Amino acid sequence: MEKVRYPKIIYLTILLLSVLWCGGVILAPVLAGGHYNYVSDFLYSFYAKSCHQLEDRSLTIGGYALGVCSRCTAIYFGFLMGTIFYPFFKLLRNTELPSLWIIVAAAGLVFLDVITDVTGIHKNTFVTREITGAVLGLVLPFYIIPGTVLVFHEYFNLPDKSASSGV
């Protein structure tokens, strides 16, 4: 019974963390300009470590840009969606990763979108940035969740008999 419990705890922790992460992205513009502006400043400063936050490349709420650019927003919200839908496709105790080609293809799409824009071959748009970002975000939980479950199996020396895809 013990074994069944902590994949669920790991899943809920990852879900909670990604809800908090995505919540902060939305809260930054929502709290901007009001009484809680200092919270908004803190959130913008927090996300500045991982995003350029250029206004012309960001979605806005009430005239204020989200905490991160449109591509990062798509990746983070894609990750949240992927995490929410994960139990519908895999068992929580699953430790088997999907084919590596899926993550390679998803990362490749983002890379292609960036490279074609930088080289001037094709200027990317909000749509291409969001689609490619969301695809990468959606597939990531299918690698991160089984990987984290396996970490706990290793720490508590549980035999890895539960490696079933559950599809």
Partner 1 sequence: MNQLNKLSAVLIATSIMLLVSLFPGLNIINLFCCAGIIAGGAGGTTYYIRASRRAGLEVGNRDGLMIGLLAGIISAIIYVIASTLIIMYSSVNPVEMVYKFAEDYGIEIPPESENLLKMVYDDYQRQGFSFLMIGIELFTRIISHCTFGAAGGLLTVSIYNKRMSSRSTDV
Cβ 158 vs Cβ 3: under 8 Å: yes
Q: Which residues is 61 bridged to in the sheet?
A: 64
Cα 105 from chain centroid (whole Å):
16
What is the rounded distance in angstroms from the CA atom of residue 98 to the CA atom of residue 110? Answer: 19
Which segment (5-13, 84-92, 124-132, 140-148) binds partner 1 by CB under 8 A? 140-148
Residue from 19, 61, 147, 166 in contact with partner 1 (CB under 8 A): 147
In 3D space, the residue among 15, 49, 46 whose CA is nearest the CA of residue 28 turns out to be: 46
Smallest separation, CB 41 to partner 1 (Å): 5
Smallest separation, CB 122 to partner 1 (Å): 18
| Residue 37 binds partner 1 (CB under 8 A) | yes
Cβ 71 vs Cβ 132: under 8 Å: yes
Residue from 75, 135, 138, 139 in contact with partner 1 (CB under 8 A): 75
| Residue 27 binds partner 1 (CB under 8 A) | no
| Residue 52 binds partner 1 (CB under 8 A) | yes
Phi, psi for residue 60 in degrees, rounded to 5: -125, 155
- Print the binding letters for residues 87-126 with partner 1: x by CB under 8 A, - otherwise: ----------x--x--x----------x------------
